[in-house]
Structures are given as C-alpha cells and as structure tokens.
Chains A and B, each alone.
Chain A
Amino acid sequence: MDVSTTVNGEAVTRDVEPRQLLVHFIRETLGLKGTHWGCDTSNCGACVVQMDGRPVKSCTVLTAMCEGHEIRTVESLEVDGELDPLQQGFHELHALHCGFCTPGMLMTARALLDENPNPTDGEIRTAISGAICRCTGYKNIVSAVQWAAEHEAIAKQEV
C-alpha cells in the first residue's frame, strides 16, 4: 500500500507492507538508522520518535497509521552541523554510555522542553519514565535535560 507522510520536514511516499511498523519504515525503508529498535514491546523507549510533535513508540505504530502525519526522528535535531542543546547537554554531562537509549531519550526530552521549557527534575523523570537506560542510572540524563533547558533559556534571552 502507498503511504504518504512527512519525515523530518520532507514529504515521502513509499509502497509498504500494511503490516510494517513505523520503526522499520524509518530504519529500513528510509535508511534512517538513528532511531533504535529495542524491546519491540513498547517498554524500552529506544524507538521513540515524534508524531505531530508528540513522542510515540514507533515499534507500536504501523506505517499505515502515519498517512498524512508528520514524523520527526533524532536525525532532525542537528541543524547545519550544530547540535541541539539536548545533544550538547548529553555530550557535556555524559548522559550516555552505550548510547542505545539515547535517540529515544532525546526525542522524548525534546517534546518535553518544547511543551515545558523549565521542567523540574520530577517532571523530567516522569517524562522519560517510558524509556529505559541500563547504563547511566538516569541521573546524568536528568542533569543533561536541565543543562539544555538552561542553555535554551539563555539563548532566548540573547536573541
């Protein structure tokens, strides 16, 4: 079946199997390997992408459900060689070790900061409660999201 959707701002139409999951559309059909395929049971959050601005687990969304919708993946964060403040924050504060959960963490946190630019640690922990990290113990991830929130606030003041 033909599915037309927008991925990272670009309109794409592809002939896909009706049973195809969004995560495989992103990774295999479009070749965007930044999104990770983890537990396949909507528990781990590694596959999180944004659909119309809200984070969703792409292992539990069918490609066919994306007809006419906007998908945003981790590849969209870096613009013209400049990292998103979240990516920079993860780098600065060592918020990853193996990196498997990182794309999902970033897209979940991006949606949080777009909605709530000044979250508490508790709000960050709630937002990422659907994403599992087995390396960091979460503390550095929460700190990195706070780092991004602070730097985005500073950047806004300077403009």
Chain B
Amino acid sequence: MAVATARRPRPKGGGAVPFSAFFWRYPWLRPLLLLSPPLFWFVAVYLASLVLLLITAFWTTNPFTTQIVQVWNTDNFQIMFSSVTYRTIMSRTVLMAAAVTVTDAILAFPFAYFMARVASRRVQTLLFAAVLLPLWASYLARVYAWILIFNHSGILNWSLQSIGLPPANIGYTNTAMWIVFSYIWLPFMIIPTYAALERVPESLVEAAADLGARRWRTIRDVVLPLALPGVVAGSIFTFALTLGDYITPILVGGADSSLIGTVVYSNVGIANNIPFAAAMAMIPVAIMAIYLFIAQRLGAFEAL
C-alpha cells in the first residue's frame, strides 16, 4: 500500500504532453508541418512536371531510334507555327472550346436559375443529383453511347426517318464532337453558375421590384451581372477540359477532327516524339494562362 501511495499517478496534461509544449515554444513549426506535405506534393509533382514539360519541348528526338536528343533548339515550335496543319488544328481546338463553352453557358444558365431561385428545397436536391449523376458513369461509356446515337443506323437517324425526315448523318463529324463535348462538360458549368446565382441577395431582387423593374429587367440588370463570375468560373472548366481532351475527338470525330489533344496523344503513343508532344502541350497551358488572367479580371475566382 505504501508503495502505491508513493507512486502517485501524475496529473493529466501539463508536463505529460511534451509535443504541445514544444509547439507552444516554437509557434512557426505548426503551420510548417501542416503545410509541408501538400506543398511538397504541389511543388515536386505538379510544378516540377510542368517545368520538365517545358524543358523537354526544347529538345528533339533522333528520328530513327526515337531516343531523345538533349540539344537545345526551338525546332518543335517552329514546325508547329509554320505548318498549316498544326495552325488549323490549334485554331480548330480553340474554336471548339469556345463553341462548347458558349453552348454550355446558354444551356446551364436557365437550369441553374431554376435550381437556385425557383425550385423547392426537395426539387433542388433532386436536380442536383440529376446534374451529378452522369459524372458517376464512366466517361468512355457515355461517349460510346453518343456514338450509338449518331451512327448511320443509330437512334437519331432512325427517329428522324420514322417521322418522315431525312437522316442527319452527323456521326463522325465536328458537329457530333461539339454536341458530345457540350453534353459531357455541362455539369461543370451548371454547378458554379448555380453557386453564384444562389448567392445573389434576395433583398436586391426585391429592391429592383420595388423600383418598378419587371422580372426580365431584374434578371438582365441585377441577377445576370451578379452571376457572371459564376458563369466565367464554369467556363474555365468547359474551356480547359475541351482544350486538352483527346478521347472524344478520337472516338466521335471524323477525318478532319484532330485537336491539340489528339496530336499530343499520337506523338506520345504512336510517334514516340515526346519533345514535340511537350511543345504541343504547352499551347493549352499558354492559352489557359491568358484565359485565367481575363477570368480573374472578371471576378471568377471569388465565385469558385
């Protein structure tokens, strides 16, 4: 018994937790430890790979063995900008990305407006699930589904013919690519637009009504300008995703449907010309840098 009283248990806390005391003494250590794993990830994996990409773009390959020759030159960029084919592919990609973005913005706005400002809480949840549902299914499966719709004996032509119209025959064309892209990236436009619309204060809408503005006038002059950053934020996704995609053009596109992504893919996968692929991959990076700069000026980042 005497022994037990002599070994009195220490009170909890206090000196028993040396770590917290250590961090209390060196307060700067805590954020450092907290941030270093994500920072390491960001710098080593993300930034380093981008830098490597940039460096590789200034090398070439031995045309025969396809081994990389580490001699600095700008041949890849010269080929890219001097060849009509590559210039066409680049402008086709940018036009496609722009068309998809505009289409998605037009489709997404009324939908997001209804979700954010008209629908009941219950309906809102249902619509939210409906928007996100396609993202649960495989990208490839959804693209293949569109091939089945568009192909010569597909549902589209069948439906048109059964109501007496001529077949559309848009399978394997740029039109098909535009429709599939617009479908695939639509959720990425709806969600930021919805978030922005939901944040428009009800009081401003009421104030507009008090001042005599009709419904359309309110939408045009109050809701739309306030929701614009959300639309721009959504457009970052739709634009960037279209700019870099290669699966949809390969599967849905036809003979004149190469995009930047397809060229990168064929240079890595078929030609094994990684420097040229790297140079080509710098184009979307550069375009997106410009795009993000403009988007930031339009206040898109506050809406994310």
- Chain B associates with chain A: no
